[in-house]
C-alpha cells in the first residue's frame, strides 16, 4: 500500500510573497504578464520561496513600497532574501529562477514595464552576486509559475504547455 502525500497549494498573489520549509507545499502564482515571478530554493535545507512583483522600483512610490514592498522588484527581492537568510538559507546553495516580464497589452510600446521589471531583477541578482539558474521571460503570453517544495522543481505554464524551468 502506497502512502498518500497531502499537497498544500499556496497561492501567491500580485505584490505578495511566500516562504516555506514544508515539503507538502506547492507554491503557485498566476497571471505573470509584465510582472516578474521569482522562485528561490535551498535544496539542503528544503526552504523555498516565491515572489510576484509588478513594478521595477520602490522609488516610484515610496509610501506604497513601505506598505507593500513586494509590489516592487527591488524592495520585494530584498525582503524575501532577508527572510530566507534569516532562516539559514545559504547564498551558495540558493537556486533562483525567474519568469514573466512579458509585453502584454502592448505595454512594450510605451512603458516597457515587463522589460524594466526584468532588468531590475537581473541587476539586483548580479549586484548581490546571486546567479539566476533559469528563466522564462518576455514574449506576449502570461505565465503560471509553480515551486514544488518536496523536490525544489519549478515549472512554468504558458497557455496549455507546462515545462520544468
Residues 106-133: tens digit of each pLDDT: 544 556 899 999 999 999 999 999 999 9
Would you say residue 84 lies in a domain? Answer: yes
Would you say residue 73 lies in a domain? Answer: yes
Mean pLDDT, range 18-24, rounded to an integer: 97
122/54 Cα distance (integer angstroms): 15
Would you say residue 3 lies in a domain? Answer: no
Put the strands of the sheet holding 25-32 in their side by side order: 8-11, 25-32, 143-148, 153-158, 161-164
Would you say residue 74 lies in a domain? Answer: yes
Would you say residue 1 lies in a domain? Answer: no
Would you say residue 153 lies in a domain? Answer: yes
Would you say residue 29 lies in a domain? Answer: yes
Would you say residue 2 lies in a domain? Answer: no
Domain containing 20: what range?
Answer: 8-164
Domain count across the chain: 1
- What confidence category does residue 6 fall into, taking pLDDT thresholds of 50, 70 and 90? confident
40-89 per-position pLDDT tens digit? 999 999 999 999 999 999 888 788 878 899 999 999 999 999 999 999 99
Mean pLDDT of the chain: 92
48 contacts: CB under 8 Å, gap ≥ 6: 19, 20, 21, 27, 39, 40, 41, 42, 147, 149, 152
CB 77 within 8 A of CB 58: no
CATH of the domain at 131: 3.30.1330.200
CB 161 within 8 A of CB 144: no
Amino acid at each position: 500500500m502506497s502512502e498518500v502525500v497531502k499537497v498544500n497549494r499556496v497561492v501567491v498573489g500580485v505584490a505578495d510573497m511566500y516562504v516555506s520549509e514544508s515539503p507538502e507545499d506547492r507554491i503557485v502564482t498566476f497571471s505573470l504578464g509584465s510582472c516578474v515571478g521569482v522562485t528561490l530554493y535551498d535544496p539542503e535545507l528544503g526552504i523555498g520561496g516565491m515572489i510576484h512583483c509588478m513594478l521595477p522600483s520602490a522609488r516610484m512610490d515610496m509610501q506604497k513600497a513601505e506598505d507593500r514592498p513586494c509590489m516592487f522588484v527591488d524592495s520585494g527581492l530584498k525582503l524575501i532574501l532577508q527572510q530566507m537568510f534569516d532562516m539559514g538559507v545559504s547564498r551558495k546553495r540558493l537556486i533562483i529562477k525567474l519568469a514573466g516580464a512579458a509585453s502584454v497589452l502592448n505595454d512594450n510600446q510605451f512603458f516597457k514595464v515587463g522589460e524594466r521589471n526584468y532588468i531590475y531583477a537581473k541587476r539586483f541578482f548580479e549586484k548581490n552576486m546571486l546567479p539566476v539558474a533559469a528563466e522564462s521571460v518576455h514574449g506576449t503570453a502570461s505565465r503560471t509559475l509553480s515551486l514544488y517544495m518536496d523536490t525544489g522543481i519549478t515549472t512554468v505554464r504558458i497557455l496549455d504547455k507546462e515545462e520544468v524551468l
